[in-house]
Every structure is written in structure tokens, then in C-alpha cells.
Amino acid sequence: MLLVYRLDRFTRRIRDLAVLMEELEKAEVHFRSATEPFDTSTPAGQMLVQMLGVFAEFEQEIIIDRVRNGMERKAAKGKWTGGPVPYGYQLDRTLDLPVPNPAEATVVRQIFTACAETRVGPGHRRRAHQPAPENLRPLGMDKHLLNDQNDKSRTTGDSHTDL
């Protein structure tokens, strides 16, 4: 016997549920839920499992839609939408924005400066041995990444502060 707490903890996809239920039946394993009353050995119980599977999939899609909408609203307001904070920044929970981490920002500036000095400028050539265009930046870096360290008031136009 396979005992699950709830059907939607087992799977939230009706297709997966059908395949899993078929495999359990072939292996002669009974399927039970600790919180939902159904008996998969009867046609009514099998129908109930399938209906609960449809609702589980619907519920998952609703959750995904709400999370996506919430993230889009936060992004439109210029707020942090989650995920790992880039190296060189830390999350300010009061502003809900990444702010420079002084210790890491120093390392990031050193890396950008080293890249700018060694990969951009006079003499830099592309594969075809042609001079690189004036606007070529290493690793896709923008001008704001090579920020003048004396100009701390400048921002990128985004809601976070330059390093």
C-alpha cells in the first residue's frame, strides 16, 4: 500500500497521476490518502481520485499565476522580486532593494577595473584581427559598471545604486 498525506502532495499533474495510478495498479499496490476518503479499488473511487487530480492541477496553475502577477507588480514598482542577490550587493529589507555590500563591492570594482584595463582599449582585437569598435565592453559591461569611484550619487536609472 502507498499512503500519501494528500493527493496534491503526490502529484499536481493529471497526466502524471494517471500514469502513476496505472503503474501502481500493475504492481498491485493500493493507493490511499490519509486526509481524503477514496477507495481506488472502486470505479467511484477512481473517478474521485481523477477529479481531485484535476483540482490539484488547477490549484497549482492559480498559485503560479498569482506569484507571477505579484512579481510583476513588485518589478513595476522597482522592488526586488526575489532570488539570489548578485555578488557585491545585499538586500535591504526595509527598502526591498539590493544595496551595495561594501566588502564585496570593492572586489567587484577591482574585477571590472582589471577587465577594463586588460580587455578594452587601444590594441584590443577581435578574432578576425580587426580593431574592436569603440563601444566594445568586456563581458557585456555597460558604462555605468565602470563608474567613476568619486561619483557616488550617480545611479544607473534602475532602482539600485551603482557599485
Kindly report, residue by residue over 74-95, the tens digit of the pLDDT: 889 888 888 888 888 999 988 8
Give 131's DSSP letter. Answer: B
Report the pLDDT averaged over residues 42-67: 91
pLDDT tens-digit map of 122-151: 555 555 555 555 544 444 444 444 444 444
Q: Name the CA dihedral angle for 25, 27, 28, 30, rounded to a multiple of 10 degrees.
A: -70
Q: Which three cell numbers stand for residue 40?
A: 481506488
For residue 122, what pLDDT is reported? 52
For residue 145, what pLDDT is reported? 46
Measured CA to CA, the distance from residue 23 to residue 74 in angstroms comes to 43
What is the residue type of 83? G
C-alpha of 126 from chain center? 34
Give me the residue spans of the domains in the chain.
2-76, 89-146
For residue 163, what pLDDT is reported? 67
For residue 31, what pLDDT is reported? 85
- Mean pLDDT computed over every residue of the chain: 78
pLDDT tier at 155 (50, 70, 90 boundaries)?
very low
pLDDT tier at 119 (50, 70, 90 boundaries)?
low
For residue 157, what pLDDT is reported? 52
CA distances to 56, 119, 152 from 125, rounded to whole Å, are 57, 9, 32
Helices (H), 27-146: 43-76, 102-119
The answer to pTM > 0.85 is no
